[in-house]
Amino acid sequence: MFLKRLLSVLIGVPVLIFVLFYTSPFWFKLLVAACSLLALSEFYRIVFSAGEKKKKYFGLIIGAFYSILVLFSPAQELSFMVPVTLVILITFCFLIREANRGEAALEGIASQAGLYLLGTFYVAGFTLYVALLRERPQGIFWIMMLLMGTWLNDTTAYLVGHAIGHHKLAVRVSPGKTIEGFVGGFFGTAVALFVVRGFFHNPISIKATIFLTLVIGFLGPVGDLAESLIKRSYQVKDSGNLIPGHGGVFDRIDALLFNAPFVYYCALFLK
């Protein structure tokens, strides 16, 4: 399993590095948007049954609409509230129409609306912050801090947990995770962030780097557990099988989902 994970990283990382460092921000946005929609597709495959294709298609359409508004709108100064408002409005218009035609049970409408909004704003929306980071001053530095900090946290937690892990972290949600692995993950995050900081000639202070280490080291596992909670509630092991050793795209980016917005706002305020 670990070798499959390593092989996937060795193939995927060069592609990411090329798009991030050697192409325009537009192509990086496009790559992130594609990843967000793949993850969103897997999310709807989990929460909707095989026969509910119409619901899945609507969820993907509204997710793509939101992504385009956030990433490619010429009026970025309108902030997130305009696309958020439009998504909520369109979602309820769709559900009212479906309910009125008798194609949706009234008892489940609120839950269905919640799934659409969760998919759009949590799965797709939080992923988009990775692309938005590219447009910040020193955007590539912040993206590398986010990606390397999150991924090395996950890898170190995996290795430490398998080597010496005995105390379960959240046994009902993710039986394989241990407190030892969780603590070990902070070490991986610290190594990653300080290496990236040095590579980019120390654009932020040591205190800011330690602060980022603590929060990324905490939020990454929470993001992982959040996806595990969703999958366990629907009795699903993996969100997909697109990435060998990792499952689906949603499985691979779950730890990024809470970290990405946080790092984006840190890029606005940390010096």
Task: Per-residue pLDDT tens, the chain, 271 aa: give them.
Answer: 555 555 455 556 777 888 888 888 889 999 999 999 999 999 999 999 888 899 999 999 999 999 999 988 765 555 678 889 999 999 999 999 888 877 666 777 888 999 999 999 999 999 999 999 998 889 999 999 999 999 999 999 989 998 998 889 988 898 889 999 999 999 999 999 999 999 999 999 999 999 999 999 999 999 999 999 999 999 888 776 665 555 688 988 999 999 999 999 999 887 6
Contact 270, 142 (CB under 8 A): no
Please return the burial class of 99, using the count of CB atoms within 10 Å of its CB with bins 0-12, 13-18 and 19+. Answer: middle
Whole-number Å distance between alpha carbons of 67 and 52: 23
Specify the 3-state DSSP secondary structure of 271: coil
Amino acid occupying residue 35: C
Residue with tokens 């946290």: 153
Strand, helix or coil for residue 72 = helix
DSSP state of 261: H
The reported pLDDT for the residue numbered 67 is 92
Q: Assess contact for 248 and 254: CB atoms under 8 A.
A: no
CB 145 within 8 A of CB 180: no
